[in-house]
């Protein structure tokens, strides 16, 4: 998703772009994400600013992308089980409102009007009309198609095996399984593989996988109107613990199945289905929406969120290797944050005024800018290659 958005915005800005992906479109975490475009789960701060910019860019994109990407400005409803939880939720919402988020408090007696199938007895909630949803794999595919229509070249099934640098240490392109691509700018949009890609350029970026499971129910008639989740979800997202966290996150989709999340744990790239985790998710969803108690789950799958220790993505130039830009580490928000990320990357490559302060996202926070660092890494190669393009190119 992030690479697709970068390809779309950089190409449309007039740059010559090549997208390079070792797999198919949306074969990474994007194919496992739920596609929520959320402002509601972000406390005031740089990530919320990025999310607000992205929310408006997603609305613009929804005008140009086909209806099949299932963009829905459905709104999010965060619910609190008790008074203590409601107090925390209300305080967060007040801070968010000051930062420009639209919020509406929902009293307990109003909850059935907003979500008729919610369990009784909840303490209250907050409605976030700016929250939206998209089908992430289709959105990525259509953005890639739009980028290609605007001139981007597409190299799928083509792993990048080295970042090429010249005598000054500046980026000269990438080596791929299908030859070298020369370019003065390379964007690392490799998601959870962002640290491995950075290592190809001889620099460190501490991206780690944070596993999450999603349950997909049988198709149901429209029962759940918003993205609905428990207030505890926000604390789970912000947690630095490697241990398992689960909190119910439930939403319908236009095609019928209900999606149920969300779990978070750092267990490396372990793909084993965890019955205890999916059982906890199912039980929590049925507690929030009793109507789901009799619903069959058709499948469960997992994905790996690209986690950085401070929960902020790495976006922008890596001053250790001139010409290397990062756009990775978006953890559980990469679908939502992709357009604003791409806008920042495009401005950085073009040397233009960024749409918001890029400093909090600077990859430099993970290491000193060092003039001699480039070219020292495992994959940094000499200035060689057959080169298929002359302008800046953006591998996926
Ligand atoms: C269960 C779950 C639910 C989620 N729900 C949401 C949600 O509701 N909303 C939201 O915003 N986010 C959500 N996320 C997070 C979101 O899915 C990710 O943040 C996002 O998909 C990251 O996109 P990306 O483009 O950075 O990475 P990816 O989609 O992983 O793309 C990276 C690409 O890089 C390619 N690549 C890797 N290494 C190389 C190489 N050496 N050479 C060439 N190509 C390479 C891969 O093949 C891949 O296609 C969820 C994640 C999970 C796991």
Would you say the CB of residue 191 lies under 6 angstroms from ligand 1?
Answer: yes
Mean pLDDT of the chain: 91
Give the pLDDT band of residue 247 (cuts 50, 70, 90). Answer: confident
What's the chain's Rg over C-alpha atoms? 21
Q: Which of 4, 7, 34, 308 to mutate to test the pocket of ligand 1 (most atoms within 8 A of CB)?
A: 34
Q: How much of the chain is helix, strand and coil, in % rounded to 5?
A: 35, 25, 40
Would you say the CB of residue 34 lies under 6 angstroms from ligand 1?
Answer: yes
Would you say the CB of residue 209 lies under 6 angstroms from ligand 1?
Answer: no
- Mean pLDDT over residues 109-115, rounded? 97
- pLDDT at 301 exceeding the cut of 60: yes
Give the pLDDT band of residue 100 (cuts 50, 70, 90). Answer: very high
pLDDT above 90 as % of the chain: 86
Please name the residue whose Cα sits nearest to atom 51 of ligand 1.
33
Instruction: Tell me phi and psi for residue 290, to 5 degrees.
Output: -55, -30
What tens digit of pLDDT does each residue of 213-231 get?
999 999 999 999 999 999 9
pLDDT value at residue 234: 75
Residue, of 244 and 26, whose pLDDT is higher: 26
Would you say the CB of residue 379 lies under 6 angstroms from ligand 1?
Answer: no
How many Å lie between the centroid of ligand 1 and the Cα of residue 192? 7
Would you say the CB of residue 2 lies under 6 angstroms from ligand 1?
Answer: yes
How many Å lie between the centroid of ligand 1 and the Cα of residue 189? 9
Tell how far CA 378 is from the center of its chain.
28
The alpha carbon torsion through 386, 392, 395, 396 (nearest 10 deg) reads -160
What tens digit of pLDDT does each residue of 359-370 get?
999 999 997 654
Q: Which of 4, 155, 305, 363 to mutate to test the pocket of ligand 1 (most atoms within 8 A of CB)?
A: 305
pLDDT value at residue 49: 98
Q: Where are the beta strands (DSSP E) in 38-83?
A: 76-80
Would you say the CB of residue 212 lies under 6 angstroms from ligand 1?
Answer: yes
Q: Residue 274 forms beta bridges with which residues? A: none
How many Å lie between the centroid of ligand 1 and the Cα of residue 150? 23
Is the pTM higher than 0.85?
A: yes
Write out the two tokens for 331: 């953890």
Give the pLDDT band of residue 239 (cuts 50, 70, 90). Answer: confident
- pLDDT at 384 exceeding the cut of 90: no
Write out the two tokens for 202: 């001889």
For residue 241, CA distances in Å to 207, 210, 230, 245 come to: 15, 10, 19, 9
pLDDT value at residue 371: 40
How many Å lie between the centroid of ligand 1 and the Cα of residue 1? 7
Please name the residue whose Cα sits nearest to atom 32 of ligand 1.
190
For residue 383, CA distances in Å to 2, 168, 372 come to: 28, 10, 16
Give the pLDDT band of residue 394 (cuts 50, 70, 90). Answer: very low
Atom of ligand 1 nearest to the CA of 2: 25
pLDDT value at residue 368: 62
Going by the DSSP 8-state scheme, the letter that residue 13 receives in this structure is T
What tens digit of pLDDT does each residue of 36-89 get?
999 999 999 999 999 999 999 999 999 999 988 999 999 999 999 999 999 999
């Amino acid at each position: 998703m992030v690479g697709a958005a970068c390809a779309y915005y950089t190409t449309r800005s007039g740059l010559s772009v090549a997208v390079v992906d070792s797999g198919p479109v949306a074969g990474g975490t994007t194919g496992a994400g739920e596609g929520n475009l959320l402002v509601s789960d972000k406390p005031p701060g740089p990530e919320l600013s990025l999310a607000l910019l992205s929310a408006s860019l997603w609305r613009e994109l929804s005008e140009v992308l086909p209806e099949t990407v299932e963009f829905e400005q459905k709104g999010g409803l965060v619910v609190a089980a008790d008074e203590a939880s409601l107090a925390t939720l209300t305080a967060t919402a007040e801070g968010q409102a000051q930062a420009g988020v639209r919020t509406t408090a929902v009293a307990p007696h109003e909850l059935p009007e907003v979500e008729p199938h919610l369990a009784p007895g909840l303490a209250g909630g907050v409605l976030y009309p700016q929250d939206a949803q998209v089908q992430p794999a289709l959105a990525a595919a259509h953005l890639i198609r739009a980028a290609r229509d605007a001139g981007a070249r597409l190299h799928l099934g083509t792993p990048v095996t080295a970042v090429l640098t010249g005598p000054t240490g500046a980026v000269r392109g990438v080596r791929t399984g299908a030859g070298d691509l020369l370019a003065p700018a390379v964007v690392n949009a490799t998601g959870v593989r962002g640290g491995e890609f950075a290592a190809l350029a001889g620099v460190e970026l501490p991206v780690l996988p944070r596993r999450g499971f999603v349950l997909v129910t049988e198709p149901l008639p429209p029962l759940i109107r918003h993205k609905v989740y428990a207030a505890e979800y926000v604390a789970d997202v912000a947690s630095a613990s490697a241990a398992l966290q689960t909190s119910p996150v439930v939403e319908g989709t236009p095609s019928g199945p209900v999606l149920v999340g969300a779990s978070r744990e750092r267990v490396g790239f372990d793909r084993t289905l965890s019955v205890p985790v999916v059982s906890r998710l199912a039980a929590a969803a049925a507690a929030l929406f009793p109507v789901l108690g009799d619903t069959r789950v058709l499948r469960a799958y997992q994905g790996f969120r690209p986690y950085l220790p401070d929960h902020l993505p790495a976006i922008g130039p890596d001053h250790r290797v001139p010409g290397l830009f990062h756009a990775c580490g978006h953890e559980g928000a990469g679908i939502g944050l992709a357009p604003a990320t791409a806008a920042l990357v495009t401005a950085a490559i073009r040397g233009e005024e960024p749409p918001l302060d890029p400093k909090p996202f600077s990859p430099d926070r993970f290491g000193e800018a060092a003039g001699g660092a480039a070219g020292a890494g495992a994959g940094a190669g000499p200035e060689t290659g057959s080169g298929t393009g002359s302008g800046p190119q953006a591998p996926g």
